[in-house]
Amino acid sequence: MELNEFTLKEQLDGLRDSSFSSTELTQDYLKRIKAKDPSINSYITVTEELALKQAKKADDRYNKGHALALDGIPIAHKDIFCTEDVLTTCGSKMLSNFKAPYSSTVVSKLFDEGVVMLGKTNMDEFAMGSSNETSFFGEVKNPWNLDYVPGGSSGGSAACVSARLASAATATDTGGSIRQPAALCGLTGIKPTYGRVSRYGMIAFASSLDQGGVLTRTAEDAAILLASMSGHDPKDSTSLNIEVPNYTEEIGNNISGLKIGLPKEFFNQEIPDHVRKSTEEAIEVYKDLGAEIEEISFPNIDLSLPVYYVLAPAECSANLSRYDGVRYGYRCEEPKNLEDLYMRTRDEGFGPEVKRRILIGTYALSAGYYDAYYLKAQKCRRLIANDFTEAFKSVDVILSPTTPGTSFKAGEKINDPIDMYLQDIFTIPANLAGLPGISFPCGNHNGLPLGLQLVGNSLEEGKLLSAAHHFQTVTNWHKESPEL
């Protein structure tokens, strides 16, 4: 068995009992990246030298008997997380030459636990997309079938973990950008409660929705990694000052009697038969595990997509105003005057999807439309959050498919924004309400994985991880891996 075939947990065990060293493990991944990534394109930057240096330090700590919590585990970071002195592009031409002058809190926390950074992963430009086709650095291929997309926006993170080009990867989720690629690439992905993971140094898209999380091969791996990333950060004013529970202990909690809600409106959507079937089979698995199933209602669910596509672009139009070609990033050639510098820099530096969203957001916030769109959407957002509050009075978690289908072919949806946006129909509501959500594999159709989503109440990541972990103790979907 190759070292990259082990889960993160198994690798930690192996490092601890000296079955192999972090240098061997890191070299194994670097070798595989060189051999396999040219056809997948999951990395924008591979930090080989840094990785080997970090691995050596981890090995020294193991030898001296004072290893750190995640010492020597090679992971990849989504290129949205600032990494000091390392290229941080956010998948955009605008930042194609940007070396971050500081590291994000997520990256720093993981470095402090001994994690080895293999590199930075490809993503949809500024995290706007569901197929990883909007990246300035080229499309990412789905390792299960190279004609298909890996999902997005964390498509590079998902593809690299799925192809075993990293033990795990960090990711972010504004409307489904962790859970949807997790589903399409056969991985476990968790988006924690808004405020659980610091956003400091995580390049902003829509600040009231963005949240960092992880993509891993098992729920157990997700629990280990998330525990080290979470926690209060004085540098992020929206970071929750609430103690982080021990997720690795919580995943063992019994789920007998767990109340699972099925929103009838989700199942009334047009879902393909294979998605419906694998979801129903997953429900049976939970029944066998002793969970109780209850139908619930989400009367305002239809508002999620329009609310999201008013609020996320509105927030992005404000956040992305900082890219003006003055202090960092791309600048157009020979600007005639300051205005020309701004306007051409932003036209040339941003791709079509980012420009579409900035324009929509600018429109929704402009005089005369603010009340009709922005304020109205914020009120509708409250209605959706209220639906969740009501549901959690009677159930512990809410179950649905993660996506309306398996992966799709590259080029299939890129010219139809609305069709692309529908990818996130099941994942967006959790972001609007700031709630944690997890996706994990629950089936396979024509050689492509399918994901199951559970959404939990605020700060109940432990419950989600435990429910996913128990599912993985009696099913094998998460053990399937693409052949490359």
Partner 1 sequence: MSLSDKELKEIAYLARINIDENNFPALKGELDQILGLFEKLNLANTDGIEAMSHPLDLSQPTRKDEVTEINQREKMQESAPLVQSGLFLVPKVIEGEN
* CA-CA-CA-CA dihedral for 40, 42, 45, 51, to nearest 10: -100
| CB closer to partner 1 out of 277 and 356 | 356
Options 5, 243, 284, 340; binder of partner 1; rule CB under 8 A: 340
Segment (H or E) for 191: strand 188-191
Nearest residue to 65 (alpha-carbon basis) of 11, 130, 16, 120: 16
**Cβ–Cβ under 8 Å, residues 193 and 94:** no
377 scored as a contact of partner 1 (CB under 8 A): yes
Per the annotation, the verdict on 141 as an active-site residue is no
**Cβ–Cβ under 8 Å, residues 278 and 464:** no
Per the residue annotation, which of 21, 131, 157, 177 is the catalytic one?
177
**Range in contact with partner 1 (rule: CB under 8 A) among 16-24, 37-45, 235-243, 278-286:** 235-243
CB of 368 to partner 1, least distance (A): 10
Per the annotation, the verdict on 153 as an active-site residue is yes
Per the annotation, the verdict on 78 as an active-site residue is yes
Beta bridge partners of 43: 121
Q: Which two tokens stand for residue 43?
A: 């990395």
474 scored as a contact of partner 1 (CB under 8 A): no
Nearest residue to 461 (alpha-carbon basis) of 260, 190, 186: 190
Within residues 172-231, the interface with partner 1 by CB under 8 A covers 194-195, 208-209
CB of 134 to partner 1, least distance (A): 14
CB of 37 to partner 1, least distance (A): 26
| CB closer to partner 1 out of 219 and 301 | 301
Options 45, 317, 400, 457; binder of partner 1; rule CB under 8 A: 317
| CB closer to partner 1 out of 327 and 393 | 327
Rounded to whole angstroms, the Cα distance separating 167 from 160 reads 9
Angstrom distances, CA of residue 150 to CA of 81, 132, 383, 411: 20, 7, 32, 12
| CB closer to partner 1 out of 357 and 463 | 357
DSSP conformational letter for 325:
S
| CB closer to partner 1 out of 253 and 362 | 362
Could you tell me how many residues of this chain bind partner 1 (CB under 8 A)? 70
CB of 245 to partner 1, least distance (A): 18
| CB closer to partner 1 out of 238 and 475 | 238
Angstrom distances, CA of residue 124 to CA of 157, 227, 229, 441: 11, 26, 23, 22
Determine the residue type at 253.
N
**Range in contact with partner 1 (rule: CB under 8 A) among 62-70, 111-119, 269-277, 380-388:** 380-388
Q: Which segments within 349-415 are labelled E, that is strand?
A: 397-401
Q: Which two tokens stand for residue 404?
A: 């309306």
Options 23, 269, 362, 481; binder of partner 1; rule CB under 8 A: 362
**Cβ–Cβ under 8 Å, residues 188 and 161:** no
DSSP strand pairing (397-401 vs 259-263): parallel
**Cβ–Cβ under 8 Å, residues 146 and 39:** yes
Give the interface with partner 1 as residue ranges (CB under 8 A).
Answer: 97-99, 101, 194-195, 208-209, 234, 237-238, 240-241, 300, 302-303, 305-307, 309-310, 317, 321, 324-331, 335-344, 346-347, 350, 355-356, 358-360, 362-363, 366, 373, 375-383, 385, 417-418, 421, 432-435
Q: Which residues are catalytic?
A: 78, 153, 177
